[in-house]
Amino acid sequence: MIVVMQTDSTPGQIEAVLNRLREHSLRGHLTVGEERTVIAVVGAAIPPTLREELEHFAGVKETLRITQPYKLVSREVKPSDTVVTVGDVKVGGEHLAIIAGPCSVESEEQIMATARAVREAGANMLRGGAFKPRSSPYSFRGLGEVGLQLLAQARAETGLPIVTEVMTPADVDLVARYADVLQIGARNMQNYQLLEEVGRTGMPVLLKRGLSATIEEWLLSAEYIIAQGNPNVILCERGIRTFETATRNTLDLNAVAVARKRSHLPVIVDPSHGTGKWYLVPPLTLAAIAAGADGVIIEVHPDPDRAKSDGGQSLNPENFTSLVPQMRAIAKVVGKTW
């Protein structure tokens, strides 16, 4: 349930509500919005009489039941779009994230060339994996900390914030020292200990949808992060498993519209993993922005034919550069910019 406070409620009245929740062993998450202040009540056993009890408290306007299993990610709790800030970049509302870079960081030359090219083209963040989840244990699994150092070098030169994946709770401290956004990969969407650990950092988190996760499961995973007191979650649709074999995954643009309707969190799209083919990336990028996505994350490699991972779905810098003006044109139509 949520407790909606009157617009002129005092800090003391809010505290009185929070104290009563503590007496019931419940937690209250306070959201102070421009239009209203609400307290989301979270916990296992909400007594049936609690709503009536709290409606008599001074400063309380009304109490409402939240019908969804997720609470803090829900638009019922926070109707306005969340804008996640990453350095000077904003994601959500009218602000688009244009994240580009290689699947994996491979070498200094490769990451520096990519970072320069994507910044020149107009990207506002750099992606690159140092710890790679690979389907086969024999594939290239990333450079580890050396890869993180190369990403930091690319950020120092270009000013682009870094998005990079963290795969285990034990690596969160290390990756957090270099990254600006912690990426949770599709395969880890339901690694609940990892979600709580990145939640505790307070840093922006890019949460990919699992390969066969429902939208509700995806939003519940975001709830794990926010429940740790970290509201800086960016959802990312990256394609799901279906019966279709013509593409690597099926990019579910329905999910963008559904997630944005149900949640206040920004939702971005990964057309590279969503399609698996570089020549399908431009049309699906434009479709994602038209569908209301708050950004895209696109794999770009200076020499895709020689990439150590995901070369077949990576744009070369020329193709990425010619896509950007088209993205700007569609963004304008839907009232967004970067």
Chain residues binding Mn ion by CB under 5 A are: 103, 310
CA distances, 284 to each of 190, 274, 288, 310, 311 (Å): 26, 9, 6, 17, 18
Q: Which residue is nearest to Mn ion (CB)?
A: 103
User: Residue-wise over 201-232: b if at least 16 C-beta within 10 A, else e?
Assistant: bebbbbbbbbeebebeebbbbbbbbbbeebbb
| 273 is a site residue for ligand PEP (CB under 6 A) | yes
Q: Which amino acid is at 104?
A: S
Residue number with CB closer to Mn ion (28 or 142): 142
Site for ligand PEP in 208-227 (CB under 6 A): 208
Q: Which residue is nearest to ligand PEP (CB)?
A: 185
Residue 107 vs 337, nearer CB to ligand PEP: 107
Beta sheet of 37-42, edge-to-edge order: 27-32, 37-42, 2-5, 60-64
Smallest distance, ligand PEP to C-beta of residue 299, A:
7
Cβ atoms 9, 37 nearer than 8 A: yes
The Cα–Cα gap between 2 and 39 comes to 6
Q: SS3 sequence, 160-197?
A: CCEEEECCCHHHHHHHHHHCCEEEECHHHCCCHHHHHH
Nearer of residues 41 and 323 to Mn ion, judged by Cβ: 323
| Minimal distance, residue 282 CB to ligand PEP, in Å | 18
Q: Quick one: which of 90, 141, 238, 260 contacts ligand PEP (CB under 6 A)?
A: 238
Tokens 């994350």, located at residue = 297
**Part in contact with ligand PEP (CB under 6 A); list of ranges 66-74, 179-187, 240-248, 327-335:** 179-187
Can residue 204 be called a binding residue for ligand PEP (CB under 6 A)? no
Report if residue 141 touches ligand PEP, rule: CB under 6 A: no
- Out of 87, 93, 122, 133, the residue judged to bind ligand PEP by CB under 6 A: 133
Q: Which does 238 bind (CB under 5 to 8 A by kind): Mn ion, ligand PEP, none?
A: ligand PEP
Q: Given candidates 86, 103, 286, 296, which one binds ligand PEP under the rule CB under 6 A?
A: 103
C-alpha 52/C-alpha 298 separation (Å) is 50
Judged by beta carbon, residue 54 or residue 167, the one nearer ligand PEP is 167
Interatomic CA distance for residues 8 and 211, integer angstroms = 46
Which spans of this chain sit near ligand PEP (rule: CB under 6 A)?
Answer: 103, 129, 133, 185-187, 208, 238, 270, 273
